[in-house]
Structure 1
Amino acid sequence: MSPLARWIGGSAIGGACALALSISIQVVKQFEGTQLTAYPDPVGVPTICTGHTGAEVTLGQTLTPADCEALLAGDLGHAFAVVDAALTPAAQATLTPARRAALASFVFNVGEGAFRDSTLLTRLNAGEIRAACDELARWVYADGRRLPGLVRRREAERELCLAGLDG
């Protein structure tokens, strides 16, 4: 069973998981785009489909749309699993589908290690939701350069992360 199927079937409420998944797919697709032929990302990492990277990706490689959908499902399944594993039960209880989707999009983009070592995660686990969501705005650099696409992505993720918070 894929990580995504396990996450949808094994997390709190299937409907909330499906909603979070739907939101995250839209965010990731909007900011990553989909290219069937591998290309170097802004910092030179070989990338294919909808932001998929990995040792198996080689520049010039071509995949089908179905291959790309399968990679995205696996990548997002992993991102959701990372979010769920890193949060305390109390922090998990604060996750709306929109906040969960924002975090999965963030993990998809920056990777598991960066998320696990982040102040964002520390603040989430401390119950400081607004401060945690505000941390997203700091993650707009790639290879030392501020990228407009990352600024827009983090603004969208922050908006989703804050959705439903009072005041």
Structure 2
Amino acid sequence: MGQWEGLRTEAYRDIVGVWTVCYGETKGVRPGDSYSKAECDAMLAREIIAYEAALDRCLTADVPIGMRVALVSWTYNVGPAAACRSTLLRKANAGDLTGACNELPRWNRAGGRVIRGLTNRRMSERAMCLKALEA
């Protein structure tokens, strides 16, 4: 996830104006917040565990590890509430794993606009997801 989120140790406003820091952390971030790389790395590790647990509460299908990694990355970016309400997870839970992977590119908007970086991220997550199904 770090490769897509990027590391910024000083708080900044993201593309839709949300205060963000480290690898895309938004919870409780205020202007002027600052962290070391080690603090950001630890924060990301904790968040990945939390987002994976949130995904596990609504993903009932057994999926290959590569697909799981792609879905945790996506959930980290879109949030567990949106992930759990999604057509993507409905398809996965119904056993349509290929269909679920193919939903990822639809999640390429922020503030109602298509964002090139999100399009690139979703295509990468989709490729990882589909590759896991080939194995």
Query: Smaller-chain TM-score range?
Result: over 0.9
Select which of 123, 145, 152 maps to 2:120. 152
Q: Does 1:121 find its partner at 2:94?
A: no
Select which of 14, 20, 34 maps to 2:7. 34
Q: Tell me the residue number matched to 2:44.
A: 72
Q: Tell me the residue number matched to 2:70.
A: 102
The offset of 1:57, in angstroms, is 0.6
SS in 2 for 1:127: coil
Q: Pairwise CA RMSD of aligned residues?
A: 1.0
Q: Distance in 2 between matches of 1:164 and 1:107?
A: 18
Query: Sequence identity, in percent?
Result: 43
Letter in 2 for 1:42: I
SS in 2 for 1:61: coil
Runs of 4+ in 1 over 4 A off after TM superposition: none
Q: Tell me the residue number matched to 1:21.
A: none
Q: Tell me the residue number matched to 1:18.
A: none
Letter in 1 for 2:89: L
Instruction: List alignment gaps of at least 5 residues for structure 2.
Output: none
Instruction: List alignment gaps of at least 5 residues for structure 1.
Output: 1-27
Q: Does 1:44 find its partner at 2:23?
A: no
SS in 1 for 2:133: coil
Deviations 1:81-123 (A, max 9, x none): 12222122xx12xx22211110000000000110011000000
The offset of 1:143, in angstroms, is 0.6
SS in 1 for 2:17: coil
Q: TM-score, normalised by structure 2?
A: 0.95
Deviations 1:20-65 (A, max 9, x none): xxxxxxxx111110011010110011100011111x2112211111
The offset of 1:139, in angstroms, is 0.4
Q: Tell me the residue number matched to 1:11.
A: none
Letter in 2 for 1:132: A
Query: Would the aligned equivalents of 2:107 and 2:122 in 1 still touch at CA under 8 Å?
Result: yes
